[in-house]
Amino acid sequence: MTPARKLLQWVLAWGGIGLVFSVLAAFAPALKSWLAMAFWPAGAALLAACVVDMWRGWPAPLLLVERQAQGVWPVGVWHNVAITLRNGGAQPLHVELFDDYPAGWDMEGLPHASTIAPGGFVTVTYRLRPQRRGDAHFGQPHVRVATPFGFWLRSHRLGPQLDVKVFPDFSRLLGQTLMATDRRAPAAGAIRRRRRGEGTDFRQLREYRQGDSLRAIDWKATARQRKPISREYQEERDQQVVFLLDCGRRMAAEDEGGTHFGHALQAVLTLGFVAQKQGDAVGLMSFGHEGPRWLSPHKGRAGFDRLLAGIYDLHPREQAPDYVQAAGALMRKLSKRAFVVLITNLRDEDDLAMRNACELLGTRHMVLCASLREQALDAAVAAEVGDFAQALRQSAAVHYLQQRRDAIHRLGLRASSLVDVAPVRLPGALLNRYLDIKESGQL
């Protein structure tokens, strides 16, 4: 029970009357006894009303609270939550509502105060925006109900609790996928190349068309049909795309409106979505944190949904990645040849460990190493120099980037096996490399 504004007003009014009576008694002492006889009984009546009102308002009200909210939320997107209050009693209820939404979420539209008629209901709609992926919890809503006289507010926890999951924004993912897979025009930072027109999986025979390669002509079919017949191929299917995702401390770096890990996760989901559309199986292994996760490759939309459900709550940890250990663990789990995409943030001290890991993976699989480059360093190099401190900052950035380039060069990877881009360009770069590999039949 907490005092309501109405009670405070009555107490202040009673105190004000007492002050007026004191002034009158000072000028007219003969009225003092009469004023006291009026003032103290009024106070006693107010106190009795407060006690009776508290006693009447102590039992829990006949109030049904229902919450309508989705079970899966996209991170960074506003969505509505509706709470319905139903008055099952015979008296109107004056209520104040505040929901127990997950900590750290942005909120608009609460608290809310309203009066509910007997047998009536009211629906309160407010907005939430989650700021972090993972599991989240809604507690029971907080409802404060005014007592019959309105002197007190009784707090109650009514209604259901709710556990929800916060996933990456899938609408943004689909938008990136549609842009990055448009092979007719450049988009989303992706560079499109001319298609070869040949894959490695035979599809069908058809009549020869101008521009077909001579190697595509089926001479036996041509002799039977007495006209040129070409073989038509399709891109390889039924392959495996496996991500080796660094969850170490470097991936927590902030860059371009998000962490490196957030951009990496977006790239994983974008390429995973395209790969399952191409008929390939997608899987993932995380490393650089306690309890690495292994999601074995699966095909189709079920495989992508499994990937999404397995990584939505992954976050970088304060640990250093062990590339060789991660590569060895992946080798033990993958027996079939796969396209392994290792996503990390390379530093100059990683050259030997990364080289050993790539050589180990390359004995059986096709490896693509994707490294995220900090845009803050590029900005420091490009910034104008106005004083000695800025000159030191620029020279340090240039020196660091040169060391980083030397370390990447020491890896000994071919250009086709390495992607070193800004975080925001990673989805397009990975998609381009994957589609080029599919078209060329290298896998």
Question: 28 vs 177, which has greater pLDDT?
Answer: 28
Interval 78-121: pLDDT, tens: 999 999 999 988 888 899 999 999 998 999 999 999 999 999 99
Residue 11 has pLDDT above 60, yes or no: yes
Alpha carbon 260 to its chain centroid, in Å, reads 13
Is residue 427 helix, strand or coil?
helix
Is residue 141 helix, strand or coil?
coil
β-strand partners of 243: 284, 341
Q: Which residues of 26-49 are buried (b: 16+ CB within 10 A; e: fewer)?
A: eeeeeeeeebeeebeeeeeebeee
Q: Which residues of 243-279 are buried (b: 16+ CB within 10 A; e: fewer)?
A: bbbbbbbbbbbebeeebbbbbbbbbbbbbbbbbbebb
Residue 186 has pLDDT above 90, yes or no: no
Predicted local confidence at residue 327, as pLDDT:
92
Interval 352-395: pLDDT, tens: 888 888 889 989 899 999 988 877 777 777 788 888 888 888 88
Interval 245-266: pLDDT, tens: 999 888 888 876 678 898 899 8
Interval 311-362: pLDDT, tens: 988 888 888 888 899 999 999 998 888 999 999 988 766 668 888 888 899 8
